Amino acid sequence: MSICFIAKGTDGVVFLETNWSEVRKTAKSENKLIFLDLYATWCGPCKVMDKSVFSKDEVGDVFNSRYINARFDAEEGEGELLAEKFGVSEYPTYLFLNAEGDIVYKIIGYHSPVRLLREADAASKVAKTYVPLNELETDYENGNREPAFLFELIERKYQLNGAQDILLEEYLKYASQANLKTEKVLQLIANNVTSIRSKGFDVLLGSLDSFLKMTESQQKSILDGISKAKILSFKKAVNEQDETLFEELIKAVHASAYSKEGALDEERQFRYDFARLTKNFKHFAIIAHGEAGLIMQKEPESFDELDQQKIEQVKADAFRNGVTETSPRLQAAIASIEGSSRRAASFQLNEFAYGFYQMTNSPAELKDALKWSAYAIKLLETPTNWQTYALILKKLGRGGDAKKAIKRSIKLAKKEGVDTKSIQNSFKKN
């Protein structure tokens, strides 16, 4: 097997260009760690690392002397297999491995030369006391429950296989209360928590009491972990159609919210999504009638007035900060607001109307949905809105009106350059 070394330029990090087996053999013969760069060709930060970091002499001096450097396209050939093996889903991902192929240290994303060298020092330090994962697992099976040991075991298994919720619960049984709100433990919890029904979630929730006194990193771990636990619990409740878990989620929403208004908004969205995804018409209808009723009470012009109020506020804030009215940024902000309230209301009404079309055969309920659909069109004519209107009309037995509506949907779609096949097919099938 021939081996050659390549560098991104005349200086900097030299990468070994060969297969993974040869990389490991070289690392073993030279008694060095492997530095593995798993990148994607479309990845912007990967390109910046190539051009501005790996090309630096000071980076090359350290990496060429300490490591066997290798790189693979994570979406092609052997690189794709390595990315799957090591659980890589973000780019760039940089792994420090021993010659056996065990991950000793892992970093993700762009790193400046100084930061990358600092991480390299950390990786080399970890390598000195590195214990293979299979030995750690054996120690665990033999009853080792020391908090520091469990912490390392969770970290290592998380790097390879993602969240370790069961091990996290075990760790929290033995960890001291004093350590639970430290930065590294909060990050461990955030990475591995998967449910609102967990000790980890309770720890994060309890940390909100001292949230404002914490560092930005601690705060981020808490919010990330709480959000992750809620989302995963929601998905489980949907998949198992578990209303008990769902109601526990709603309680968790209120317990973790920064304001009553925020909690109500989050609850409303969760309830809507749960009813829609589980096709629970009883719950969906309660939400739809309430929300659609509020929208239907408003005149179309009131949405434009709301947009104008927002625009005036944005302009006032901009002027206070010395931004001129002709500023491209200000004009872009104004453009994004114009018509947004109409669009949002129209979209919401169409979602409710289409949900009724999917979930009920009741003529009375479908007639309500038809009213919402008609008002959605009044607020904003779109191919989708007219398509929903046509489908409801057809389900109500008004075939002639339905055909006129679907023709309008197709006409608008063609005007906007949208493919009309899906519109035609949905109407034919239903």
Q: How does pLDDT run across 386-420, given as a tens digit for each residue?
A: 999 999 999 999 999 999 999 999 999 999 998 89
What confidence tier does 132 reach under pLDDT thresholds 50, 70, 90?
A: confident
Residues 6+ apart with CB under 8 A from 354: 388, 391
Instruction: State the burial class of residue 290 (Cβ atoms within 10 Å of its Cβ: 0-12, 13-18, 19+).
Output: exposed
CB atoms within 10 A of CB 70: 25
Mean pLDDT of 243-263: 94
Mean pLDDT of 11-37: 95
Residues 6+ apart with CB under 8 A from 304: 339, 341, 342
Q: Which two tokens mark 227?
A: 């959000």
pLDDT of residue 1: 45
| pLDDT at 241 exceeding the cut of 70 | yes
Q: Which residues of 167-203 are buried (b: 16+ CB within 10 A; e: fewer)?
A: bbebbbeebeeeebbeeebbbbbbbbbbbbebbbbeb
Taking the domain 283-429, which CATH number applies? 1.25.40
**C-beta of residue 38 within 8 angstroms of C-beta of residue 79:** yes
**C-beta of residue 87 within 8 angstroms of C-beta of residue 81:** no
> Comparing C-alpha atoms, which of 90, 92, 105 is closest to residue 34?
105
Enumerate long-range contacts of 18-23, CB under 8 Å, 24 or more apart: 18/70, 19/78, 20/70, 20/72, 20/78, 20/82, 23/68, 23/70
Give the 3-state secondary structure of 349-414: HHHHHHHHHHHCCCHHHHHHHHHHHHHHHHHCCCHHHHHHHHHHHHHCCCHHHHHHHHHHHHHHHH
The 10s digit of each residue's pLDDT in 324-372 is: 888 888 999 999 999 999 999 999 999 999 999 999 999 999 999 999 9
Mean pLDDT of 198-223: 94
Mean pLDDT of 10-19: 88
H or E element, residue 42? none
Residues of each domain in the chain carrying CATH 3.40.30.10: 4-130
Mean of all residue pLDDT scores within the chain:
93
> Is 4-130 a CATH 3.40.30.10 domain?
yes
What confidence tier does 5 reach under pLDDT thresholds 50, 70, 90?
A: very low
| pLDDT at 301 exceeding the cut of 70 | yes
Mean pLDDT of 217-242: 96
Residues of each domain in the chain carrying CATH 1.25.40: 283-429
Which amino acid, one-letter code, is at 129? T
pLDDT of residue 429: 83
What percentage of the chain exceeds 70 in pLDDT? 98
Q: Which two tokens mark 382?
A: 């779109």
What percentage of the chain exceeds 90 in pLDDT? 80
| pLDDT at 4 exceeding the cut of 80 | no
Mean pLDDT of 5-22: 77
Which residue carries 């929730």 as its tokens?
205
